[in-house]
Amino acid sequence: MNSFGNIFRVSIFGESHGAAIGITIDGCPPGVDFAEPDMESDILKRMPGAAGTTPRKESDIPEILSGTYNGKTTGAPLTIIFRNSNTISSDYDKLRTMPRPGHADLTGMQKYKGFNDPRGGGHFSGRITLPLVAAGALAKKVLKGINIQSRIVTIAGKADYSGILEEVIAAGDSAGGVIEVKMSNVPAGLGEPFFNSFESCISHIVFSVPAVKGIEFGSGFAAAGMRGSEHNDSIISADGKTATNNAGGINGGITNGNEVVFRVAVKPTPSIKMEQQTVNLETGQTGSLIIDGRHDACIALRAPVVFEACAAIAAADLLLINRSYSL
């Protein structure tokens, strides 16, 4: 079930402290220029470094194992891996007994009957978004002409967040944020009716990313408080351009040729340095926990390029599906 997409299909694998993490992209058209350097700028955007991001530094160097030849995609499955190197697994030993609040420590054990890899969150780690970003770099090339941009809307509830973020870091606490993604030059007609609406596919992959709590398109939750006369976007040209964009570029689940806009709510990193309450699974007693390890105080800071990748992968799949329709 770790696959997404029908034609341009990605399958992800790996654990935070295992040998490697990676992704296979199936159904990519042949002849797309793609080599390791093409992923570099997106991978850098996801890298920690700024205040509020983890001190764990991985080299994050992709290796393409298959699916390219002479610097172009072949049409065969394309697999990219990243070796894990900078792992300190001893940090995680106690989490088997004392599951961290807000993490998948306990649900992972419950689901997999204790056989899951607990080190660094295992397959539940945010590190798994790295291969997603790599696949996003390829998807963006498949979407040539479509422009995808992202930005931080708020951190800790503030658009101007640098001061509050310092406070959060100093307190050993963590902060959430809202990220916005915009896609321009999206052709009209992408998205399948009903179960594979454009929003369905985008939201599906976005909620794969750990820490996401909500998503909204165009006017989003504000739409629920609006009247139809306010919300409807007047159509101003025969190709579907609208005067406003409450629709977020999508009508009836299908892109309408206007800018696609969505926003994602990211929760505060659950790993904080402050004392928390959890249960000791051996004794069944509650107790306090202090997490050491190396963590982002605000994972939202590194998330924009991840959601760009989500948008690109979902859109590439829907673009390829849509192409099959023209007899």
CB of 47 to a second copy, least distance (A): 21
Does residue 175 touch a second copy according to CB under 8 A?
Answer: yes
* C-beta closer to a second copy: residue 43 or 143: 143
Give CA–CA dist 302/315, Å, rounded: 21
Question: 72 to 101, contacts with a second copy by CB under 8 A?
Answer: 72-79, 81, 99, 101
CB of 326 to a second copy, least distance (A): 7
Task: Select from 69, 90, 93, 147 the one that contacts a second copy (CB under 8 A).
Answer: 69
CB of 82 to a second copy, least distance (A): 10
* C-beta closer to a second copy: residue 133 or 142: 142
Sole window of 1-9, 43-51, 53-61 interacting with a second copy (rule: CB under 8 A) = 1-9
Question: 260 to 289, contacts with a second copy by CB under 8 A?
Answer: 265-272, 274, 276-279, 281, 284, 286
Question: 33 to 62, contacts with a second copy by CB under 8 A?
Answer: none
Are 240 and 58 a contacting pair, CB within 8 Å? no
Give CA–CA dist 236/182, Å, rounded: 21
Are 158 and 150 a contacting pair, CB within 8 Å? no
- Two tokens, residue 194: 């009903």
Distance, C-alpha 323 to centroid of its chain = 26
Residue where the block lists tokens 């300190």 = 88
CB of 311 to a second copy, least distance (A): 14
Task: Select from 42, 60, 216, 259 the one that contacts a second copy (CB under 8 A).
Answer: 216
Q: Is 156 left (phi over 0), alpha (psi -120 to 50) or beta?
A: left
Are 245 and 190 a contacting pair, CB within 8 Å? no
Question: What is the amino acid identity at position 61?
Answer: I
Give CA–CA dist 120/128, Å, rounded: 11
Task: Select from 58, 60, 199, 308 the one that contacts a second copy (CB under 8 A).
Answer: 199
CB of 134 to a second copy, least distance (A): 14
* C-beta closer to a second copy: residue 160 or 194: 194
CB of 164 to a second copy, least distance (A): 10
74-112: buried (b, 16+ CB within 10 Å) or exposed (e) per residue? eeeebbbbbebeebeeebbeebeebbbbbbbbbebbeee
Question: 109 to 128, contacts with a second copy by CB under 8 A?
Answer: 110-113, 115-117, 119, 121-124, 128
End-to-end CA distance of the chain: 32
Question: 292 to 311, contacts with a second copy by CB under 8 A?
Answer: 300
Task: Select from 180, 246, 293, 294 the one that contacts a second copy (CB under 8 A).
Answer: 246
